[in-house]
Homo-oligomer: A and B are copies of this chain.
Amino acid sequence: MDRLVINDIAQAAHVSKTTISRYLNGKYEYMSQETRDRIKQIIESTHYRPNKLASSLKSNRSRQIGLLIADISRPVSAILVRGISDICSESEFTPLIYSTDGDLEKERNRVENLLDQQVEGILVNPADYIKSIEAFENRNIPFVMIDRKVNSDHFDSVVTDSKKATLKAVQHLYGQGFRNLALFSENPVNVSTRFERIEAFSDFYKAKINNNVEKAIFIIDPKNQEQVERYITGLVAESKGSIPAIFTVNELCMLSVLAAVQKLGLQIPDDISVCGYDEWPCAPLITPGITTIAQQSYEVGAQAAKLLISKIDKMEGQDESAPVCHVLKSSLIVRGSTIFNG
């Protein structure tokens, strides 16, 4: 009642296991139609299934890839993961998925775990623009960065156009007449998505408002609701009649800001304006509709997986094609929250 192995099938079919192995790997050219049919019939009737562990070990091809994501429970991550999964399914790869919580130590350990399991490549949402690099260097498999870049031209990446999209958003705010701009981000700020968004905001702010951009940037802990309320209260107090417009760098910040705005009894957009990352199904439902930036998260995942798998398939020839960085467009979805009535 133990699991069937290749030898059992060989005996039942009165051939050697080599022939069975050939059959399993589709090498029908070295086989009479007769034995081929016989093997087929036996495999089907016995429901024999080859052990992938054994075949991976022997062939040195696990057909597994690693995926290190900051936190799979975040909605944008979940969508990105779905994109990766779908591509993996098509190519019959299995993704091994771990959350790193943006922790360098966990990230490094996970890379080791994945290598131990003989993954053929790794997709990673790096914890740090600089410090993550070390953990990825001198491994013998390809790495592709997803959603976040890393400060190195040795790695491929698939990201969204954070700077352009942020610029589009603040230009929109400015165009509407808002002059009291603020940005809310969470720490750490040494991940490319965040600092690029901050940079685009800062550049615009310096060019159009004034040089004192530091006081317009708020680093928050989205779980510390009281802190967020305090910052917003301050913004309103110092506004001198100029309606504050808040730009958030991700969904968590957005939710935190919206909750605070509600708690403080402020009206959007008459008392305060709010917009930013990420688009999600509730955005149109929250009065008066929240202006958001929609990223193509599914596509980021899918393209990254495609890229990684193509590199894996080329690996035999010691692929040394120059690393590429795919940048996917994001779109600004304008809703009532940023319509200026001042």
Is there a chain B Cβ closer than 8 Å to A176's Cβ? Answer: no
Is there a chain B Cβ closer than 8 Å to A282's Cβ? Answer: yes
Q: Give 1 or 0 for each of A87-126: 1 = CB within 8 Å of chain B CB.
A: 0010000111111000000000000110111100000000
Q: List 12 A-B contacts (CB under 8 A).
A: A3-B140, A51-B116, A52-B117, A72-B82, A73-B78, A73-B298, A82-B99, A89-B98, A97-B97, A282-B286, A285-B286, A287-B287
Copies of this chain assembled into the complex: 2
Which B residue's beta carbon lies closest to that of A60? Answer: B53
* Contact A53–B282 (Cβ < 8 Å): no
A145: B residues at CB distance < 8 A: none
Is there a chain B Cβ closer than 8 Å to A322's Cβ? Answer: no
* Contact A72–B81 (Cβ < 8 Å): yes
* Contact A78–B74 (Cβ < 8 Å): yes
A75: B residues at CB distance < 8 A: 75, 78
Is there a chain B Cβ closer than 8 Å to A62's Cβ? Answer: yes
Is there a chain B Cβ closer than 8 Å to A190's Cβ? Answer: no
A286: B residues at CB distance < 8 A: 282, 285-287
A298: B residues at CB distance < 8 A: 73
* Contact B53–A118 (Cβ < 8 Å): yes
Is there a chain B Cβ closer than 8 Å to A71's Cβ? Answer: yes
From B57, B74, B78, B85, contact of A53 by CB (8 A): B57
